Copies of this chain bind each other. A is one copy, B any other.
Amino acid sequence: MKALSPTDSAFLWMETRNQPMHVAGLNIYTPPKGAGPEFVGQMLDEWRQHLGAEAPFNLKPRLRLGMWYWEEDTDFEMDYHVRHLALPQPGRIRELLALVSRVHGNLMDRSRPLWECYVIEGLPGGRFATYIKMHHALIDGVSGARMTAQAMATTAAEHKPPLWAQSLGKVPKPRPASASKSLLAQLSELAQAGREILPGIGAGLVDMARSASGEETAIPTLKAPPTPFNVEISGARRFAAQSFPLSRLKRIGQAANATVNDVTLAICAGALRQYLQTHAKLPAKPLVAMVPVSLHGETDLGGNQVTLLLAELATHIKDPLKRLEKIKASTTQAKDKLRSMSRLQKMAYGMTSIATFGPALVTKLAGKYPPFNLVISNVPGSRETLYMNGATLDEIYPVSIPTHYLALNITISGYRDNLGFGFIACRRSVPALQRMLDYTEQSIEELEKALGLNAPVAKKKAAAPAPKKPHKPVAKKT
């Protein structure tokens, strides 16, 4: 049995029926040429040859004396974790996103390893999808995406074992120094180190970050306005997704002398402005986005190592170029501060503000005085084409976590020459989420127009076309 770090444990403690704490990835595939309707079934049969699961996919949580541990599931049942589904007629992307919206709202069974893999057939032309859900206590979104990619093949010829049957070396690390200490001793240790959030700490997020960093100037003093996204959430979800060519964003970046990350934020800002205007809820003050920055590789600790930026989205500015300039200034300032911090300070700063549960601690005040309005996260992805049992991976979309007072999350994943935008929201608080896809497209066009760039011939690159019918863009169908 391995003790979870307090941060990882927090994802278990904070989970409720309205606030499940899992991340997921939606991948869409084209089967190899000549594959028949039995392709997916045969792939599953191949997977069933692998009876067990490797760490961390064999580990279930166990609560003992107020502490969470990972222990091996000795009755591992693959048929529970791997779920074969089909889309109803006509099997459009619309039906796929409706399905993902539903399953993403369901809690996982804690008596088993905290992951589920859905294999969904029935898209036109024999295309199929996987939706792989993992608990954030087990793995953070970046590691999860990386592992999923790592488990795939880089040629159509190679057949690898399924994700969970590969030794990917991502065993959650025990904390040997403190695992044997009492909970109280650990708590006081943590309080001293000031670098972890535990439930029950009631101080404001910004105050915590300030005192934890030990450097007042490192903390942006942005004030986020109340918005419809900063409310208590329900248990139901809505997911919307679409890919855009990276080349379009790069072209905008070159013309405006901005990074792709800043352009991404500007595109989101334009879409958010349009959404809030349509609902007559655009605040006079600009929205603030929390942008997680991974410290993977910068620290030698396992688990969830993340710091963050707070970026002003300049949603109060109508002109798209002026909006982009303001965003650039805001992120440049934040990055300068981060650079001046030591690694420990960065971690302290990040840990006290972990995107997915920080605000939930801040009580109902978070609705009135949100420390930020939403999380916009960019997950690095593979540039090269990936394959699974000969099927080509066409599209990748991250599905993240809405929480109380952060009802909307935008997570973006790069894959090949595209950026896959995944919008996940509380279905109650963020109605008509699918419109956000249109607004995103319009937001890109607006920037292109302002910079005098001709819109490309193929405006949207949503997916590789299906063999027979052309694959229509996701947006219109969601």
Quick check: is A27 within 8 A (CB to CB) of the other chain?
A: no
Residue from the list B75, B88, B119, B121 in contact with A41, Cβ < 8 A? B88
**Which residues of the other chain, B, contact A109 by a CB distance below 8 angstroms?**
105, 234-236, 427
Task: Give A99 to B88 CA distance when docked, in angstroms.
Answer: 14
Residue from the list B83, B87, B236 in contact with A80, Cβ < 8 A? B236
Q: Is the CB of A112 within 8 A of B40?
A: no
Task: Give A95 to B110 CA distance when docked, in angstroms.
Answer: 24
Q: Is the CB of B80 within 8 A of A84?
A: no
Q: Mark A35-78, 1 if CB is under 8 A from B, else 0.
A: 00110110000000000000000000000000000000001010
Residue from the list B84, B107, B108 in contact with A95, Cβ < 8 A? B84
Q: Is the CB of A427 within 8 A of B80?
A: yes
Quick check: is A85 within 8 A (CB to CB) of the other chain?
A: yes
Closest CB in chain B relative to A117 CB, distance in Å: 13
**Which residues of the other chain, B, contact A37 by a CB distance below 8 angstroms?**
89
**Which residues of the other chain, B, contact A296 by a CB distance below 8 angstroms?**
none
Closest CB in chain B relative to A97 CB, distance in Å: 12
Task: Give A17 to B110 CA distance when docked, in angstroms.
Answer: 9
Quick check: is A382 within 8 A (CB to CB) of the other chain?
A: no
**Which residues of the other chain, B, contact A87 by a CB distance below 8 angstroms?**
86
Q: Mark A108-131, 1 if CB is under 8 A from B, else 0.
A: 111110000001011000000000
Q: Is the CB of B38 within 8 A of A107?
A: no
Quick check: is A428 within 8 A (CB to CB) of the other chain?
A: yes
Please give me the residue from chain B that is nearest to A84 by CB atom.
B88
Quick check: is A146 within 8 A (CB to CB) of the other chain?
A: no
Closest CB in chain B relative to A388 CB, distance in Å: 17
User: What number of copies of this chain does the assembly contain?
Assistant: 2
Q: Is the CB of B88 within 8 A of A88?
A: no
Residue from the list B84, B89, B106 in contact with A38, Cβ < 8 A? B89
Using A17-B110, A83-B102, A106-B106 as known contacts, say yes or no to A88 and B40 having CB atoms under 8 A apart.
Answer: yes
**Which residues of the other chain, B, contact A234 by a CB distance below 8 angstroms?**
109-112
How many chain A residues sit at the interface, stated as a range, is 35 or more
Q: Is the CB of B236 within 8 A of A88?
A: no
Task: Give A421 to B428 CA distance when docked, in angstroms.
Answer: 37
Closest CB in chain B relative to A197 CB, distance in Å: 23
**Which residues of the other chain, B, contact A427 by a CB distance below 8 angstroms?**
77, 80, 109
Closest CB in chain B relative to A349 CB, distance in Å: 33
Q: Is the CB of B85 within 8 A of A88?
A: yes
Residue from the list B40, B85, B428 in contact with A85, Cβ < 8 A? B85
Q: Is the CB of A121 within 8 A of B235?
A: no
**Which residues of the other chain, B, contact A99 by a CB distance below 8 angstroms?**
85
Task: Give A95 to B105 CA distance when docked, in angstroms.
Answer: 22
Q: Is the CB of B121 within 8 A of A88?
A: yes
Task: Give A99 to B38 CA distance when docked, in angstroms.
Answer: 19
**Which residues of the other chain, B, contact A77 by a CB distance below 8 angstroms?**
427
Q: Is the CB of B111 within 8 A of A428?
A: yes
Using A87-B86, A88-B86 as known contacts, say yes or no to A17 and B121 having CB atoms under 8 A apart.
Answer: no
Task: Give A80 to B109 CA distance when docked, in angstroms.
Answer: 23
Q: Is the CB of B85 within 8 A of A236?
A: no
Please give me the residue from chain B that is nearest to A37 by CB atom.
B89
**Which residues of the other chain, B, contact A121 by a CB distance below 8 angstroms?**
88-89
Please give me the residue from chain B that is nearest to A41 by CB atom.
B89
Question: Which A1-50 residues sit within 8 Å CB-CB of chain B?
Answer: 17-18, 37-38, 40-41
Closest CB in chain B relative to A478 CB, distance in Å: 12
**Which residues of the other chain, B, contact A79 by a CB distance below 8 angstroms?**
98
Q: Is the CB of A17 within 8 A of B107?
A: yes
Q: Is the CB of B112 within 8 A of A236?
A: yes
Kindly list 16 other residue pairs between chains A and B, CB separation below 8 angstroms, not including A40-B89, A41-B89, A111-B428.
Answer: A37-B89, A38-B89, A40-B88, A41-B88, A41-B90, A75-B431, A79-B98, A83-B98, A86-B86, A88-B121, A89-B121, A109-B234, A110-B234, A111-B235, A112-B234, A112-B428
The 5 closest A-B pairs by CB, nearest first: A111-B234, A86-B86, A109-B236, A109-B235, A84-B88
A-B pairs with beta carbons under 8 Å apart, 18 shown: A38-B89, A40-B89, A41-B90, A75-B428, A79-B98, A80-B427, A85-B85, A85-B86, A85-B88, A85-B99, A86-B88, A106-B107, A108-B235, A109-B234, A110-B234, A111-B234, A111-B236, A111-B428
